[in-house]
Every structure is written in C-alpha cells, then in structure tokens.
Amino acid sequence: MKNPFRITTLRPEDPFCDRERELDELVRHGLNGASVTLFSPRRYGKTSLILRVQDRIAGQGGYTVYADLYRVMSVDDLAGRLAKAVYEGLNRREPLLEKGRRAVLRFFQTYRPTFSPTPDGGVQIDVRPVAGLSGYDLLESLLGEIGRFSAECGHPVHVALDEFQDIVGIDKGKTEALLRAQMQTHDAAYLYAGSRRRILRAMFADNGRPFYNSSFPMELPPLPHEALTRYIRDRFADAGGHIPEPSAARVSERVEQYPYYAQMLGYFLFDGPPSPGLEDVDRAFDLMLGNERYAYQGIIDGLTSVQQAVLIGLAREPGAKPTSRAFLSAYGLSAGGVQKAVSHLRNQDYVVETDKGLVLVDPVFREWLVRTF
C-alpha cells in the first residue's frame, strides 16, 4: 500500500485537513480584489493553502501568480522571481507554447521568457531582462506591466508573495516603498504571506511603514484536534489501512496539531505495524525526532551561546521569564545579553509571546531540545 501522507507541499487535489473557513475567506477576498496578509509558523501548511486558494480562483476564471521570495537577495533577484512567476501563472492558464496563445504576452516586455519542454511533457520557463534596465528601474517597469494587465485583462488577478517579509533584508525600505506605491494602484488582489510573523506583522501594523493597514490580516491557528484525528483515520482508510481512534488522537496530541508534523508522524506510523496502538505512535514519534535532528542541530549551530541557552531554557521551562533572577542564575546569563537574544529568537519566529508567557513555536523542536540538552 502506498503511504497516503505527504511531507512536501500538498497539491490542490490532495486531501486537506480543515482550513475551510480560511480557504473560503481567502478565495472571497481574492475574487473581490482585496489584499490579505497571511501569518503562520514555519511548515504550517501555508503554501499548501495558498495553492489551494489559487486553484479555486483559477477555476472561476482568475489569473494567478505565485512567487516565493524566501531569502530574496536583491532588487534584481526580486524582479526576476516575480517575472518568472508571472509567466508561469500565464502558462498555467493558457499554455504559452500553443499557437495563438501568446497575445497576452504583449503586456509584458520588461522580461523575455524562454520556454524549454521538460521530459514529463511540461514546460520550463526562464526569464531574462531586456537590455538597459536593472535594479529599481527593472522592478518598477515590471510592476507597471502587472498593473496594466490587471486593469485590462477582464478577469480577477491574484498575486501571492510567499515569505514576503524577506524583502526587508534588501535595503532600508526603498524596495518596500516602491512595491507599495505601485501595488496600491493595481486592480489585483495581493496575498502577502510569511512565517517570520513579528517582522511581517510590523510591516503592516507600523504606521510609519509603506504597507501600513493596507490588507486584511489572517493568522493560521493550529488544526482542530477533532478534525485532525478524523483526517488521520481517513488517510489510513483511504490507503486500505486502519488506525484506532485513540491512536489517531495521540498523533494529534503529540504534535500539538502542527500540520507538518502531523503528516510526518502519520507517514512513519503508516509504515509501521498494522492497526497501530499508542506505543506504536510513541515509537514513530521517536523516529520522527531522529529524522529531524539534523535540521534542529543546524538551527542550534546558527545561534550564539546566549541565544542557545535562552532557547534551551524556554524548552525546559515554557512560559518562564528569561530576565528573571532565577532564569539568569540557572543558565549563567546576564540581563542585557538575554534581552538581545530574546529579540533575535522572536524575529526568527523560534519563540513567541503567549498568554502563558514566552514559549517555543515548534513543539517537536522543543521536545528535541529537552531530550538533547
């Protein structure tokens, strides 16, 4: 039996767990031309949801563009990624290699596309800028073309910019201002998505920033426990397997309704004994921890010793106050160093302030830290 759990981005046709309210709301805003800022932790199903939203919008006649801006390095890099995403979106709607399908390309002259057939029958699209333009001029020209296209194409236009907060690393705000100045004139809906929530939220909540109050905010919550339990049981059944309800519920509880880990734990569990019991769930959880340890070690290696100590301390003592005398004494820290460390950990979305205090965002990473240190 093929394993029914996917640990990569879910395709629009794959079974989805809940998110119906968010899906309906995002589609409605997209068709209405309203922009949304979508916040979520890493590996929370954000990209899978975006692709599902765009699939529905496309099904109702809309044009969709999806650009991944993760670790975008420069204005030219940003413009190139956006241009490639535009051509890929146009090609999804109307294959541009087919005769008579290229009239839409008259709107876009800043970048020239090249099309290369792939072995699976698809098309690889690359782009190169026209001579004489670079940097901000290149980006401004492309944005102007998107604006004209959105005004004249006669259909909804939906543009998703994933990991949008990473544009703040390009410069000291000029790119942010240029994007806002152009996008606010477009007859298009923008979906600004990101997983470094503190940075993304500041872009839209700070009244001194260009994107202040320019979109509807939406934050993805954990999956509902009952829905996730049912989803896990259904995936086993669809693949010809069986999992008792208490074991499916244990999966949901162990990962604290975290979408990526629910898929990962389900994946390991499905390949284990038939009709798995509670102990099988715990053994599969240990396998998952072992699988993730290299990624977790990479996070730790990228932190200073003070940042590491604060993170480990909060893993052991969720909700603790790092600047308290007891915390500082327990981990050999100074108040000044801790404040800087907490700021960094929050900006990276490793920790978040809750009504219970400061806690780690990733529950499985937290478990690994407790076991390892």
Q: 165 — alpha (psi -120 to 50), left (phi > 0) or beta?
A: alpha
- Give the residue ranges of DSSP H helices in the chain: 20-32, 46-59, 75-93, 135-152, 174-183, 197-205, 225-238, 245-254, 259-270, 278-301, 305-316, 325-331, 335-347, 363-372
What is the distance between the alpha carbons of residues 333 and 364, in angstroms, rounded to a whole number?
A: 25
Residues 6+ apart with CB under 8 A from 255: 261, 262, 265, 363, 364
Looking at per-residue pLDDT, the higher value among 126 and 100 belongs to 126
Structural domains of the chain, ranges and CATH numbers in brackets: 20-219 (3.40.50.300), 224-300 (1.10.8), 303-373 (1.10.10.10)
> 333 falls in which pLDDT band (50, 70, 90)?
very high
Amino acid at 159: V
Residues 179-208: tens digit of each pLDDT? 999 999 999 999 999 999 999 999 999 999
pTM: 0.95
Average pLDDT over residues 327-347: 96
pLDDT at 101: 64
Cβ proximity of 190 and 50 under 8 Å: no
pLDDT at 193: 99
pLDDT at 98: 75
Residues 42-70: tens digit of each pLDDT? 999 999 999 999 999 999 999 999 999 99
Q: Which of 273, 293, 292, 295 is nearest to 283 (CA)?
A: 273
